[in-house]
Structure 1
Amino acid sequence: MPSLATYIALPGTTAEAFNHWHEVLGGELQILTYGDMPMPGMPFEPDPNSVAHAVLKTPGGELAGGDAEPGGDYAVRDTAYSLLYTADDPDEAREIIRKFVDAGGAAGMPFELAPWGDWYGQVFDRFGVMWSLSVPASEDWRERAEVAGA
């Protein structure tokens, strides 16, 4: 069956980032280094400890990635590296944001009811990746937000 996953190349921090995302989001993590699978004939000589391929499978989808090729200029902390995570409820999304911030990330856009009616906010993790958090609004959550003054 065909599938589509987001792939992200990081500047030598893939293993750390994927382990962190696994702690925050849960799921199943697989990390394969170049040392795990020697590949003769590569156009560059990879560090055997560099990540050749990582996959984080969560209930909502997959995120894949690897360490950037040596000499590659991969800028992070830009919305070019942004991921959208849709949570089941606002409390779950707030908890994800808290975990990212507590681990060295920075809040971006406040998580609140957006003009289009859903909950939405942004946080940058400690690797510079922007995570957009979204929760489809329900009448119950809207009523609780109005009572709380959100």
Structure 2
Amino acid sequence: MSLRFLPYISFPGNAAEAMSHYHEIFGGDLQVLKYADTDTTGFPFTPSPEAVAHAQLEADGLLLSGGDAVGEDNPPLSSDVYSFLLSFDTTAEAEEMIGKFTSRGGEVTMPFEPAPWGDHYGQLTDRFGVVWAFDVPGGAG
């Protein structure tokens, strides 16, 4: 069996802005497809031409996809029941990434520090409401 876990975020109408934001943070290659660039014939809904049908960011160790949610009553992104875990080799790498998020409106919700299980661990919520967790196994310096 070949399995890959690839997170997908349905944004409440701001997918282009959010995916561009993540591109600034992670670098890599960002592809964005808007509904204006697709054939929506036969769709059970009428999307805004400027809405993002699909976006994909591929960077070192990361493949993140997303698009604009369709419908009237979409749930908010902000939640304490999930997070995206980023694992690093050193605390310096993790701290640098945390700095990229916080300098762009992210808010630390759990300080990045030694955890009871021996790793360095912390969390933040980005300006879109997505929770990101940061981990360095064994607390490697």
TM over 0.5: yes
Matched with 2:59 is 58
* Corresponding position of 1:146: none
Partner of 2:11: 10
Q: How many residues align?
A: 140
Q: Is 1:33–1:50's contact at 8 Å kept on the other side of the alignment?
A: yes
Cα RMSD (Å) of the superposition?
1.6
Q: What SS does the corresponding residue of 2:24 show, helix, strand or coil? A: helix
Q: Percent identity?
A: 46
The letter of the residue matching 2:85 is: L
Match of 2:111, SS? coil
Map of 1:83-102 to 2, 5 A cutoff? 83-102=84-103
Measure the CA separation in 2 of the matches of 1:11 and 1:60: 26
Name 1:45's counterpart in structure 2: 46
Residues 55 and 106 of structure 1, relative CA distance in 2, 3 Å threshold: same
CA contact (8 A) 1:18 1:54 kept: yes
Q: Structure 2: 5+ residue runs without aligned partners?
A: none
Alignment of 1:1-150 (within 5 A): 2-137=3-138, 141=141
Aligned mates of 2:48, 2:31 — CA distance in 1 = 18
Counterpart CA distance in 2 for 1:124 and 1:108 is 7
Distance in 2, Cα, partners of 1:97 & 1:103: 10
Moved more, 39-48 or 85-94: 85-94
Q: Displacement, 1:94?
A: 1.0
Shift of 1:104: 1.3
SS of corresponding position for 1:123: strand
1:73 Cα deviation from its structure 2 partner: 1.8
Contact 1:10 1:74 in 2 (8 A): no
TM-score scaled by structure 2? 0.91
Deviation at 1:6, TM superposition (A): 0.6
More helix by share: 1
Distance 1:20 1:98 in 2: 14
- Measured in 1, the distance between the counterparts of 2:39 and 2:75 equals 24
Question: Quick one: distance in 2 between partners of 1:30 and 1:47?
Answer: 19
Give the superposition deviation at 1:122: 0.3
Q: Which runs of 4+ in 1 moved over 6 A?
A: none
